[in-house]
Structure 1
Amino acid sequence: MNLYGWIIYNGYLQGDKFRDFAEWIKYDAAKQKIETTIYKNSELLSLLSSDVLTLLSAKKIIWPDFVIFADKDIYLAKQLELLGVRVFNSAEAIAASDDKIVSYQLLAANKLPVPKTVVAPKAFHRLKYNPIDDYSEAIKMLGFPMIVKEAFGSFGEQVHLVHSKDELAEIIYQLQGHPFMLQEFIAESSGKDVRLQVVGDEVVAAMARSSESDFRANVTAGGKMHVYHPTTAEKQIAVAASKTLGTDFTGIDLLHDGHEKPIICEINSNAHIRNMFDCTGVDVGDFIIDYIRKTLK
């Protein structure tokens, strides 16, 4: 069976890492004799009406057997699915992992370990007054320091560590109109986390990340990385988390409390794999392509 696929990334994001991911996957697909074409999402505009559901460029393209969706443009992913194309990861899985509030809700509903979390009530715009008093019970339960995390964000940039009620009031005021949550601060994992890369039912690679200058361990923010050998329990949690959100492949970030109990910090449906390769020597792309080939077979 000769397969042909697309690899889609976002054409509007700055930097080379998104194109780099696409090129990496294309190379790994070629190793398994699978031809692919790389597209920016901006090259594949969705067209829909009561009479037609397609892409504007439909007449100029060769339709794929599958798409590897290295983006968060869930509307395009959904359009492709409606057109009968198998998308890895699915639009629903991308949406669930992209919205961290939804992620935590699904994980908690499935009894998986997550930090204590209080979801901020929805506000449609910034209020003329500061609603800090609405959070009195949350402050009592979580205490300080605590984490304020926006529902949408990448590379740790929308995660804030606050140490006082005044700091919290300022952050809450700034975030009015944006979905966010308050979370307990896992002090034992400050500046440390573990990334487990899941493909299908398997953890295929893992690394530990650490930062001496930041409570976040993201390599993008200056964190260091080294090979990590996850426990059986950590692998089981990572695979269960991936299945809960419906991802075919994903990066699961774990924290550890004072008892070394793993706690899910974040799920990344579009986790970049170059850092994992640089750290471990494991080419996650090989596993992704093999998984797709076996799934479509």
Structure 2
Amino acid sequence: MKVAILSNSSQALLTKTLKDKGHEVVLLNPSQIYLYISEYESGYDRVYIESSNPNQPERLNMSGIDAIIPRISGANFFYACAVVRHFEDCLGVYSTGSSLGMTIATNKFWTSQKLSEAKIRQPKTVFADYPQYPKFLIDLVGGLPAVGKLPRGSQGKQVFIMESEVGANTTLQTLYSLKQNVIIQQYIENGAKDIRAIVIGDKVVSAMERKGKNDFRANLSQGGSGRDVLSELTETEKANCVKCAKALGLDFAGIDFIRLAPDNCYFLEVNGGNSGEKIINITGRNHYEDLVALIESKVKKASTTTTNQVEKSIPTPSTQEDSENEIAEKEYNRLKVKSFHTPDEAGKYTFLSRMFGKKA
């Protein structure tokens, strides 16, 4: 199996895990990729990537890539999402994170809307274009203290607490003057602790409790500490974590929630598959192994379906003298000289190449 990792960093552990399982890995920087949409109705879209040739990029051979793993974030996130979408929708390559799901996950209120639609319990939350009515908005979420968030941000950044009336009014009036959207959320007292659970497919494979240090935020990036709590989670809590991931259409996600007691939880955010590796160091569980197993199952299923479809599409012999192999080889030779292939022809050609390509 050949897997492409979309990232602008080395992804050493993920690469090692894939190679240890016997798979080929190619690391692609989304910023170095060029996307091409063809003029043909049946589709003949392509991907190009920067090369040593100063005059033109190199065409990426897509027939050998079975799946992609997006590990994208930062300033080029939305372009990288377009790359993921091209692989998914235009080229039919399986991705562990859907471009739409990852886009939703970067928007905290859009995420809240999807979780509400999925009947997931969350803290009371208000979203304001410009927070013109500070007291009214804060009262809606239960009064002070209250948590404020900007719609986008990670690692606890762009998250703040409002504890006094003066402080809240000043903060929200400042955001109003800046024409800044803001999320105001009910503050759930839990000793600056929350849980990050890793969902892969239909299963929670890892979980850690994070505890803030001199801060109400529990993020490790803000100086917090962590411990393994997977064995402490109830089946209902695990099922709700999976529901959160599925609500955004993600096969690989980090779910953040506050646990006051078993089955008494408030779900906060969904991380779209770019969860850091600190959880692996803390729990000792390499969830990339579970991710590789998921990809293997998805690619195997897709390969079996494609093979069955291709086998059924090979013409039957027109005479008793022609064998099925002869007909198949004729089809291979016909496709071999074509300047372009439709998606169906591309799948057929890939299948037939395994049978007759070595004869050339």
Distance 2:182 2:19 in 1: 41
1:193 alignment partner in structure 2:
194
Q: Which amino acid aligns with 1:147?
A: V
2:102 alignment partner in structure 1:
94
1:35 alignment partner in structure 2:
24
- Cα 1:260/1:199, change in 2 over 3 Å: closer
Q: Does 1:110 align with 2:118?
A: yes
- Cα 1:272/1:40, change in 2 over 3 Å: same
Map of 1:214-253 to 2, 5 A cutoff? 214-228=215-229, 229-253=232-256
8 A Cα contact 1:115 1:184, kept in partner: yes
Q: Does 1:296 align with 2:299?
A: yes
Q: How far does the alpha carbon of each residue in 1:140-191 deviate from its partner, in whole angstroms, 9 at most, with x for none? A: 222111011111111001111112343334433337444431100001x241
8 A Cα contact 1:8 1:67, kept in partner: yes
Distance 2:182 2:45 in 1: 35
Instruction: Give 3-state SS (helix, strand or coil) of 1:138's partner.
Output: helix
Q: How far does the alpha carbon of each residue in 1:97-141 deviate from its partner, in whole angstroms, 9 at most, with x for none? A: 1111111101111211111001112x6xxxxxxx532x4432222
8 A Cα contact 2:47 2:59, kept in partner: no
Unpaired runs of at least 5, structure 1 = 12-18, 124-130
- Cα 1:239/1:258, change in 2 over 3 Å: closer
- Cα 1:182/1:217, change in 2 over 3 Å: same
Q: How far does the alpha carbon of each residue in 1:58-109 deviate from its partner, in whole angstroms, 9 at most, with x for none? A: 7443322211001143222112222222222010111121111111101111
Instruction: Give 3-state SS (helix, strand or coil) of 2:270's partner.
Output: strand
8 A Cα contact 2:194 2:257, kept in partner: yes
After alignment, is 151-160 or 138-147 more displaced? 138-147
Q: Which amino acid aligns with 1:232?
A: E
Which of 4, 7, 10 matches 2:5?
7
Distance 1:60 1:79 in 2: 14
Higher Rg: 2
1:16 alignment partner in structure 2:
none
Instruction: Give 3-state SS (helix, strand or coil) of 1:279's partner.
Output: helix
8 A Cα contact 1:116 1:184, kept in partner: yes
Number of residue pairs the alignment of both structures matches: 276
8 A Cα contact 1:253 1:266, kept in partner: yes
Q: Which amino acid aligns with 2:18?
A: A
8 A Cα contact 1:132 1:169, kept in partner: no
Q: Which amino acid aligns with 1:277?
A: I
1:126 alignment partner in structure 2:
none
Asked which structure has the greater RCO (Cα within 8 Å, sep 6+), the reply is 1
1:56 alignment partner in structure 2:
48
Distance 1:283 1:179 in 2: 38
Relative to the length of structure 1, the TM-score reads 0.85
8 A Cα contact 1:5 1:37, kept in partner: yes
8 A Cα contact 1:101 1:180, kept in partner: no
Instruction: Give 3-state SS (helix, strand or coil) of 1:213's partner.
Output: coil
1:83 alignment partner in structure 2:
91
